[in-house]
Amino acid sequence: MPAHYDYAQMDAEEQRMDDQEDAAPEGGYVGDAQRAVGPAPNNLARWRNISEANQARMTLEQLDVFDTVMESILQVNANPLTAQVPRYFMNEGPGGVGKTTINETLIAELRSRGLNVLATASTGVAANLLPTGSTLHSALLIPRDVTAETRPRLESHTNIAARLRRLDLLIIDEVSMLHRNVLEYADRQLRDLWPRDHPRRNMPFGGVVILLTGNWAQLKPVVPRGDDIATREASIRMSPLFTQNFHEFQLRQNMRVLPGELEHAEWLDQLGRGQNYYNVPNRTVLIPEACRCNDAGELIDFVFPPHLLQDPIANVDELRQGAILAPHRETTARMNQALMERMPGEWLTLDGFDHLVRAGNRPGPWDVNQADADIENIHTRQPSGFPPYRLRLKVGSICVMLTNYDPMAGLFNGTRVQVLGTTGNNLLRVRILDGRSRHVGQTRIIARARFEYGRAIGERDIPFTRDQFPIDPAFFMSYNKAQGQSLHRCGLWNWDAQPFADNMLYTGCSRSTSKAGLKIFSSLGDLTVNKVDCQLLGVNPRATQPPPPPTAGVERAPSVASTPDIGAVRIDSRVTTRPATPAEPMDVEVHPPIPPSPTPTDVSMRTAPPDTPRPFTPMDVDQPAGTRFTFEDATPRPLFEETAPPQPPVEDESAAPAQPEQQDGVIETDLTLPPPPPPPPQQPNNQNPPNSPNGGAPGRLYMRL
C-alpha cells in the first residue's frame, strides 16, 4: 500500500462520481436524484439539445476540432486496440476562441450517446466552469508533491479504477499551469489500471482519448526557488510525452470581442507572444493611453467605487465584477487591509490554532533553534496556500477560497465568496460569488480547515499545522490566484514591483473582458515590464515602437508602502516622467557576446583613450562581456587602467612629439622621446581610490574588466 494512502479521500471520490452520474437534470444537492442503473431518457434529451445548440453557433475551426476528436472517440470505442487512430489532442488558443464551448459540446454529445467522459482541470476555478467538472488531482487521487518517480497510488480493484477503464474521453483544462510531473503521473496511473499482459498497458494513458486545453501564453507552473529555465522545463510542452504523442490545434478567431474591441484583442495577442515591445532589451511595453492610471486612488476608485464599499452586501452584484492584481502576496495582504478600512462596520478578528509537529525523519520542534520554534514565530509565517494566523475581516468583505473545501457545493480552490457574518466562534457564513450559475448567490457555512506544512517535498522549514478558515481577502489578488477569473473591472498594481514571472502581465490583462475595464498603475509611468518566454512559445521578440532615448528615466513618488491611509495614496502616489539625472550610483550588468581575447600588443586598445567622450546607455552592447558599470556620468572608464606614464607638459605646439605608429606589435618613431618621470605611487589592489563609491576620481564611470 502506498505511503500516506488516504482511504477517506478514495471513498469520498467514489461517492462524488456516483452522485454526479445520478444527479437530477435540474441540479440540486448531493444524493437528491433517483438511483438509476442507466441514464434517464430526459437526461439524454437534455444533453442532446445542448450539443445541437452549441454546434449550431460554432465556427469552422471549432467544428474541425470537434469533428476530429469525436471521430477518434467513436473509432476507439468500436476498436480499443486500433493503433492507426490519433488519440491525443491539444486545443490551444487565447481566451474567447471557444475552448470551453468545445469542451461543453463534447461532454454533452458523449453523454447523449451514453459514452463516458471525465472533465477535469488544473485549478478549481476552471473545474467549476465545466459540467460535472473536478480537479485532475481529485479525479485521479494525485498526491500534492508528485515527482517523476512517484508510483501510482490507485488500486486496480477499486470502483474508481473500473470507471477509469471505461473512459472514452479525458478532458484536462488550463494545462499551462500544470506541472509535467502531473501529466506523466496521470499517464502512469491510467496504464497501471490494466493487467501486465494487456496491450493497453503499453499505450500512452492506457489508450484513453485525451483532450488538453489551454494557452501557452498564460502563467507557467510554479517551481519553488526555480529560475526561468526551471519553470520552462516544468511545462507540459517540454515533456517528451507531449511532444511525441499530441496533435495541437491552434484557435485564433475570437468570438467574445465586440466590434470596437478588435484593436484591443490584437494588442493582447501580441502582448502574450512578445510582439509589441517598446524596448526589447528592457522587456517593456507601452501601456495604451485608455488603460493608463497615474494615481493609486484613481485605480482603487475605478475598480471599487466608494458607494459600493459603503454597502457591500446590497451592492454585491457590482462589487464582485472587479479585482486588483499585484505580483506579490505581501502587497495584496497590505492593500487588502487598507481597503477594508474604507468599509463601515467592526472588524472580525479570527485567530487560528498553530501546532508544532514532527514529520517523518525531519527535525522535531525541540531539535531546532529555540527562537525559530517559538509559537510566536510560527504565527507570523504564511506559506503559499495558507491563510494567515490572524484573519481580519469585515462583514461584506470579498474573499477567495484556498482549498477545495466542498466541490459539490461550489466551494473550489479559487472561488470568490462574500463574508456575511459568523455563527458562534467556529463557523462562518459566506455567499458564493462566481462559478456555475446554480451555485452563485447561495449561502454556505464553512468551518476551520487544517493546513499542514513540512510533509511535502521542498518544505524544509519547521513543520507545523494550522487550523484556520480556508479563505483570504481578495479585493487585491495575486496574478497566479486570479488565473481563470473574468472581471468587468480589472486593475493591475505594478507599483511596488513589476511583473517578475513569464507571461504574468498577459495573464493579468486578459482577465478583463474589455479595454474600458482595464487600468494599469505602473511605477514606470506609461511603460510596464512584460516578460515572455519566447523560447517556449517558439517566437522571436519584436518591437513595434522605437526604443526610448538613452537619457529617458522615471521620477518616482514616495512608496505606497509608507503611506498609512488610502486617502493619502490618492494624493501622493503620482508618477511623472522627465529626463533622468541619476544622483546615486546604480549597477547594470551587460552580457553581450564575448569578444575575442586581445593580443599582448592590443592591451592599450581595449578601452577608449581617457579623454575621449563616449555616449553610454544601460544596455550598451558594445562593451566587453561581464563589464560592470557605475552610473556617475556618461563616460566609461576602466577600473584598473593600463596606460603609459604621463608626458611632461609641452609649451610649444611645434615641439610636441609625434604620435608613434604601431604595426604588428612594433612601435616605430623617428623622434627621441624625453625620459619618462617616475611612475606615480600605486595603490594596493584591496583599496579603492578616494572620492568615489567604486574607486577613482569623482565624475567618472568606472568598469571592471
Whether 568 and 476 map to the same domain: the answer is yes
Mean pLDDT of 346-351: 94
Whether 450 and 331 map to the same domain: the answer is yes
Is the per-residue pLDDT at 655 higher than 80? no
pLDDT digits (tens, 9 = 90+) for 426-485: 899 999 998 777 788 999 999 999 999 987 777 778 889 999 999 999 999 999 888 888
- Close Cβ partners of 371 (under 8 Å, ≥ 6 residues apart): 377
Contact 115, 169 (CB under 8 A): yes
Task: Note whether residue 668 is domain-resident.
Answer: no
Worst-scoring range by mean pLDDT, 18-27, 146-155, 248-257, 383-392?
Answer: 18-27
Last residue of a domain, one of 207, 229, 250: 250
- Close Cβ partners of 365 (under 8 Å, ≥ 6 residues apart): 356, 357, 358, 373, 462
3-state secondary structure 121-134: ECCHHHHHCCCCCE
Q: What is the largest CA-CA distance in the chain?
A: 113
Whether 514 and 610 map to the same domain: the answer is no
pLDDT of residue 400: 94
Whether 197 and 268 map to the same domain: the answer is no
Task: Note whether residue 670 is domain-resident.
Answer: no
Residue 392: which pLDDT band, with cuts at 50, 70 and 90? very high
Q: What is the distance between the alpha carbons of residues 254 and 468, in angstroms, rounded to a whole number?
A: 42
pLDDT of residue 370: 62
pLDDT digits (tens, 9 = 90+) for 560-617: 333 334 443 333 333 333 333 333 333 333 334 434 434 333 333 333 344 444 333 3
pLDDT digits (tens, 9 = 90+) for 528-555: 999 999 989 888 888 875 555 544 444 4
Give the ranges where 273-415 is alpha helix by DSSP (H): 296-303, 306-310, 316-319, 329-340, 375-379
Contact 479, 327 (CB under 8 A): yes
pLDDT of residue 352: 94
pLDDT digits (tens, 9 = 90+) for 217-245: 999 998 888 888 999 999 999 999 999 99
The H helix count followed by the E strand count for the chain is 20, 30
Number of folded domains in the chain?
3
Cell 622621446 appears where?
A: 673
Whether 167 and 282 map to the same domain: the answer is no
Task: Note whether residue 679 is domain-resident.
Answer: no
pLDDT digits (tens, 9 = 90+) for 68-102: 999 999 999 999 988 788 999 999 998 888 899 99
- Tell me the backbone φ, ψ of residue 227, rounded to 5 degrees: -90, -170
Is the per-residue pLDDT at 24 higher than 50? no
Worst-scoring range by mean pLDDT, 22-26, 91-95, 147-151, 176-180?
Answer: 22-26
Please give the residue that has the higher pLDDT: either 375 or 389: 389
Last residue of a domain, one of 250, 280, 308: 250
Mean pLDDT of 131-138: 86
Whether 604 and 467 map to the same domain: the answer is no
Whether 611 and 560 map to the same domain: the answer is no
CATH number for 240: 3.40.50.300
pLDDT of residue 680: 57
Whether 101 and 81 map to the same domain: the answer is yes
Mean pLDDT of 192-214: 93
Please give the residue that has the higher pLDDT: either 37 or 660: 660
pLDDT of residue 8: 54
Whether 317 and 224 map to the same domain: the answer is no
Task: Note whether residue 257 is domain-resident.
Answer: no
Task: Note whether residue 88 is domain-resident.
Answer: yes
Worst-scoring range by mean pLDDT, 17-21, 45-49, 135-139, 611-615?
Answer: 611-615
Across the chain, what does the average pLDDT equal?
A: 76
Task: Note whether residue 521 is domain-resident.
Answer: yes
Residue 256: which pLDDT band, with cuts at 50, 70 and 90? confident
Last residue of a domain, one of 197, 222, 250: 250
Q: What is the distance between the alpha carbons of residues 123 and 403, in angstroms, rounded to a whole number?
A: 10
- Close Cβ partners of 548 (under 8 Å, ≥ 6 residues apart): 278, 279
Residue 32: which pLDDT band, with cuts at 50, 70 and 90? very low
Contact 325, 508 (CB under 8 A): yes
Whether 563 and 618 map to the same domain: the answer is no
pLDDT digits (tens, 9 = 90+) for 142-169: 988 888 889 998 888 888 999 999 999 9
- Domain, as residue range, for 53: 7-24+42-250
Is the per-residue pLDDT at 677 higher than 80? no
Looking at the chain, the whole-number percentage of residues with pLDDT higher than 70 is 69
Looking at the chain, the whole-number percentage of residues with pLDDT higher than 90 is 47
Whether 508 and 594 map to the same domain: the answer is no
Amino acid at 83: A
Q: What is the distance between the alpha carbons of residues 509 and 530, in angstroms, rounded to a whole number?
A: 11
Q: Indicate the pTM of the whole model.
A: 0.72
pLDDT of residue 573: 36
How is residue 7 annotated by DSSP? H
pLDDT of residue 303: 96
Q: Locate 627 and state its grid cell.
A: 563589464
Is the per-residue pLDDT at 312 higher than 90? yes
Q: What is the distance between the alpha carbons of residues 175 and 196, in angstroms, rounded to a whole number?
A: 30
Residue 699: which pLDDT band, with cuts at 50, 70 and 90? very low
3-state secondary structure 438-451: CCCCCEEEEECEEE
Whether 290 and 245 map to the same domain: the answer is no
Contact 352, 389 (CB under 8 A): yes
pLDDT of residue 574: 36
Is the per-residue pLDDT at 58 higher than 60? yes
pLDDT of residue 412: 87
pLDDT of residue 367: 55
Please give the residue that has the higher pLDDT: either 221 or 128: 221
Task: Note whether residue 32 is domain-resident.
Answer: no
List Cα–Cα distances, 459 to 271, 408, 449, 462, 660, in angstroms: 35, 30, 20, 8, 67
Please give the residue that has the higher pLDDT: either 484 or 678: 484
pLDDT of residue 461: 81
Of 309, 334, 478, the C-alpha closest to 396 is 309
Is the per-residue pLDDT at 21 higher than 60? no
Is the per-residue pLDDT at 686 higher than 50? no
Task: Note whether residue 678 is domain-resident.
Answer: no
Residue 402: which pLDDT band, with cuts at 50, 70 and 90? very high
- Tell me the backbone φ, ψ of residue 591, rounded to 5 degrees: -130, 70
